[in-house]
């Protein structure tokens, strides 16, 4: 690569700080050192700390704020091993956060990806309407067994706005015989960083092993090249997408750990017994 793995890691980290994708129902709490999302929606995705660079007494005060922000909801926190984190981890554990998933930071130069290729029996279509976006959501729901809730109409309209403003692109793969959606994958554009960030690449089980994931990577690389983006990357979950993207030539340049705090149990107050003896 023309960029060092350390610099590529910092670029991917900065992509995570972006909040353009955040729907209207989510509030952004942000300073130069800190960025968090707070939403009434019951989803840790919209209740996440995206950036926390504070140390010392400033960190302690911020952890207290985080504890208050997410007092009644599940929340996430992204930790980066390339930053000092022992004190941060201790304080997160003290308020109920624990490691949940680990990701590899993987990047590739777009010129290293071969041109798009056809997959027999499958054609790809760019999302430009609510119907095609719903098809992408159907794939995600099937692949993740419903663990990822489909977006609300408000969230879907916001994402369509991002797509139509050319800040991201999403592709859906359709089975040519049945017409059913069987794969999807997106890419968000960061021209100021020179990178396209891949997200959501997934294929339903019945259509795996046919080169669809590889074709989605190639198609998105071509889109990035047309936009003048020299690099493409993603946060690849260690057990799933990281081995696949490694075989596609993506370089591992670091890791990220996702910590999660579950939603606290709901407690019901018991009225005092007012009966007489």
Question: Which CATH number covers residue 151?
Answer: 3.40.630.30
Residue 7 neighbours by CB under 8 Å, 6+ apart: none
Q: In terms of domains, do 75 and 145 share one? A: no
Q: In terms of domains, do 56 and 13 share one? A: yes
Decide if 47 is inside a domain: yes
Q: Look at 240 and 216; give whichever has higher pLDDT.
A: 216
Per-residue model confidence (pLDDT) at position 266: 58
Question: By mean pLDDT, which of 14-23, 103-112, 141-150, 179-188 is the weakest?
Answer: 141-150
Per-residue model confidence (pLDDT) at position 275: 34
Q: Look at 145 and 186; give whichever has higher pLDDT.
A: 186
Per-residue model confidence (pLDDT) at position 273: 40
Per-residue model confidence (pLDDT) at position 7: 96
Q: In terms of domains, do 117 and 242 share one? A: yes
Decide if 150 is inside a domain: yes
Domain total of the chain:
2
Decide if 264 is inside a domain: no
Per-residue model confidence (pLDDT) at position 212: 96
Q: Which residues pair with 203 in a beta bridge?
A: 183
Per-residue model confidence (pLDDT) at position 85: 86
Q: In terms of domains, do 95 and 128 share one? A: no
Q: In terms of domains, do 157 and 247 share one? A: yes
End position of a domain, from candidates 52, 74, 104: 104
What pTM, to 2 d.p., does this model score?
0.90
Per-residue model confidence (pLDDT) at position 189: 98
* Statement: residue 272 has pLDDT above 70: no
263-271 average pLDDT score: 59
Decide if 58 is inside a domain: yes
Q: In terms of domains, do 100 and 113 share one? A: no
Per-residue model confidence (pLDDT) at position 188: 97
Q: In terms of domains, do 249 and 117 share one? A: yes
Q: Look at 84 and 39; give whichever has higher pLDDT.
A: 39
End position of a domain, from candidates 45, 69, 104: 104
13-19 average pLDDT score: 96
Q: In terms of domains, do 77 and 189 share one? A: no
Q: In terms of domains, do 138 and 45 share one? A: no
Residue range(s) defining the domain that contains residue 24 = 5-104
Q: In terms of domains, do 74 and 92 share one? A: yes
Q: In terms of domains, do 94 and 203 share one? A: no
Q: In terms of domains, do 69 and 160 share one? A: no
End position of a domain, from candidates 49, 73, 104: 104
* Statement: residue 271 has pLDDT above 70: no
**Band of the pLDDT at 43, cuts 50, 70, 90?**
confident
């Amino acid at each position: 690569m023309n960029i060092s793995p350390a610099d590529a890691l910092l670029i991917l980290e900065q992509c995570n700080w972006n909040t353009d994708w955040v729907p209207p129902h989510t509030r952004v709490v942000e300073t130069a050192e800190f960025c968090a999302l707070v939403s009434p929606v019951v989803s840790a995705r919209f209740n996440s700390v995206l950036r926390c660079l504070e140390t010392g007494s400033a960190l302690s005060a911020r952890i207290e704020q985080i504890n208050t922000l997410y007092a009644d909801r599940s929340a996430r926190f992204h930790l980066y091993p390339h930053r000092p984190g022992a004190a941060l981890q201790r304080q997160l554990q003290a308020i109920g956060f624990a490691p949940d998933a680990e990701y590899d930071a993987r990047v590739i130069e777009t010129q290293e990806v071969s041109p798009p290729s056809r997959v027999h029996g499958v054609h790809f279509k760019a999302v430009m309407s609510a119907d095609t976006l719903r098809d992408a959501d159907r794939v995600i729901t099937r692949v993740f067994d419903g663990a990822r809730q489909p977006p609300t109409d408000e969230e879907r309209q916001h994402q369509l706005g991002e797509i139509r403003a050319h800040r991201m692109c999403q592709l859906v793969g359709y089975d040519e015989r049945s017409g059913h959606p069987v794969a999807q994958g997106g890419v968000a554009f960061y021209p100021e960083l020179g990178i396209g960030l891949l997200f959501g690449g997934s294929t339903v089980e019945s259509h795996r092993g046919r080169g669809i994931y590889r074709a989605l990577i190639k198609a998105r690389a071509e889109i990035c090249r047309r936009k003048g983006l020299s690099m493409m990357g993603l946060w690849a979950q260690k057990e799933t997408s990281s081995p696949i993207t490694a075989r596609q030539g993506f370089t591992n340049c670091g890791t990220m750990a996702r910590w999660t705090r579950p939603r606290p149990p709901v407690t019901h107050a018991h009225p005092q017994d007012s009966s007489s003896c």
